Copies of this chain bind each other. A is one copy, B any other.
Amino acid sequence: MQALMMNTPLMISSILKHAEKNFPQVEMVSVTVDNPRHRQNFKTFARRSRQLANVLESLGAKFGDRIGTLAWNDYRHMELYYAVSGAGMICHTINPRLFPEQVAYIINHAEDKILFVDALVMPLIEALKEHLPKVETVVVLTDKAHMPESSLPNVLCYEELLEAQSDDYDWPEFDENTASGMCYTSGTTGNPKGVVYSHRSTLLHALSGALPDVTGASNLQTTLPVVPMFHVNAWGAPYAALMVGTKLVLPGPKMADGETLTDLMVSEEVTVTSGVPTIWMALLDYLESSNKTIPSLERVSVGGAACPRSIIERFRDQHNCTVVQGWGMTETSPLGTVFALKKGMEDYSTEQITDLQCLQGRGVFGIEMCIVDENNEELPWDGVASGALKVRGNWVAKGYYGLSDEPGSEDCPVDEKGWFQTGDVAAITPEGYLQITDRTKDVIKSGGEWISSIEIENAAVNHPDIAEAAVIGRYHPKWTERPLLIVVMQEGKSLSSEAVSDFLKDKLHKMAMPDGVEFIDELPHTATGKINKLALRETYQDYKFPAA
């Protein structure tokens, strides 16, 4: 029997309408190339978003078209988020820092006909122009006074286009499973792959993500997402903030600049912020060296990579801030797990709480997760057993743009039982806290045991003379695979293999002790800054362990 409730599709435009009606005076503060401190409220934002929707129509954009953005975190990018999706097109955010050939691949693969580009990114587009045959229009995200010279044929000015349009626009209603956004993820192998979000997935993600034990988004907060809007929708902040009326502070191209971030946070009284560990390391160093603090800041969300304990401790001890670690992927919108204490932990010591903060958080309602062994058997949540992490839920990808979404097929990340295979190896504590221990492709499968490459790397880099370390599994006649530790020394330092092994002896389980240590001048890295283990495995493909 069908219920007798209204059934409105979950639309991203409903967030904008709610914000305009309920939070017209809430501010959105941005740093842009043309204005070091631009301010507008949600009422103005909503009006300009409607003008932008009219701009899109005037440029010939049609329902379902992919609209590319190469932009930083600012109000114009926010307007694109709402106007493009709201009008039924797909907001395709592109990371301008990728290798140029990857940027071109992504634009061509998505068939973006219109690009909205920050002035700072125009040189990249100029350089790529021969490789973007399908791009018809480039709109520069600036005003007339700041328009750059360009050799491209159809380059338009964002503010001029907006001015020419009415702010009269009715957001359409359509199927909530319609594509609303797109973000390519680049692994170490093959071409980048496009994740395609829906209005439904975006709204459910924003709602669950805003819950008190997740991000706790509120009108009483002021948020500064340092995580880029081209990186999994800035972890959902652009949606959650308007949904609950949170003041938004957007750092534009200045997101890695400690001084600008500090200045913004102090003067705008930012209470919550979010970003990757490297950003926080840099900010903490800046605050320490300049002897500054950010009195309003209460909470720092960290994701994208494991958060070093020192970040958690320094924010706690020097700035009275709680660090909240989470786990997610482009394919999970991204929220999968987020740290929050549980009832019964009121008496935990500071160290016990920090131990928990070093894990990747606990499950968010709407995401199911499990860990499985090599036979695909589910493993217990005992904090010990570790296996391949799988997730499912309404904001998890079921496939990639242009590739098969047939569960179990080669191009599809989802297995026959409907679980998304994250590629991560993890343990889960009895209280439900996730601990990522490795990537499935990097874990060393040795005599039926799984050995975490990350655990060995973390132990090795604790040696003061070691700058960087990587561990890969290599063939071993008895154990099938054993760990090989590859080390980059600090400048002017050297160590013997034996000295490295001696250092590790009391830090690792016997099975995890590397069977070989190699020294190298530099480790290969991917475009997103991760160690390229694929390249390492090629370099050391014929490696033989000394004792084997």
Q: Which residues of A contact B (CB under 8 A)?
A: 1-8, 10, 14-15, 17-18, 21-23, 25-26, 64, 90, 175, 177-180, 195-201, 204, 207-208, 210-213, 216-220, 222, 243-245, 247, 333, 340-344, 362-363, 365-366, 368, 381, 392-401, 405, 414, 418, 420, 432
Contact = CB atoms under 8 A, between A and B. Distances in A.
> A180, A212, A396, A398 — which one has the most chain B CB atoms within 10 A of its CB?
A212
A394 B6 contact: yes
Given A210-B212, A244-B212, A365 B18 contact: yes
Contact of A343 (B3, B6, B64, B247): B247
A180 B1 CA distance: 9
A219 B340 contact: yes
A123 B44 CA distance: 62
A220 B3 contact: no
A480 to B, nearest CB: 34
B363 A4 contact: no
Contacts of A64: 1
B341 A220 contact: yes
B217 A211 contact: yes
Contacts of A208: 207
B397 A5 contact: yes
Contacts of A10: 394
A2 B218 contact: no
A29 to B, nearest CB: 14
A158 to B, nearest CB: 25
A4 B184 CA distance: 13
Contacts of A177: 2-3, 5, 7
A2 B210 contact: no
A219 B341 CA distance: 8
A142 to B, nearest CB: 30
A405 B3 CA distance: 11
B216 A212 contact: yes
Contact of A196 (B5, B199, B213): B5
Contact of A420 (B1, B6, B333, B395): B6
Given A196-B3, A393-B8, A394-B5, A363 B212 contact: no
B211 A219 contact: no
A363 B18 contact: yes
Given A210-B211, A220-B343, A243-B365, A6 B398 contact: yes
Contacts of A218: 211-213
A398 B343 contact: no
A178 B1 contact: yes
Contact of A179 (B2, B26, B200, B399): B2
10 contacts: A5-B197, A5-B333, A5-B397, A6-B394, A6-B396, A7-B198, A8-B392, A10-B394, A211-B212, A211-B217
Nearest to A3: B198
A22 B341 contact: no
A15 to B, nearest CB: 8
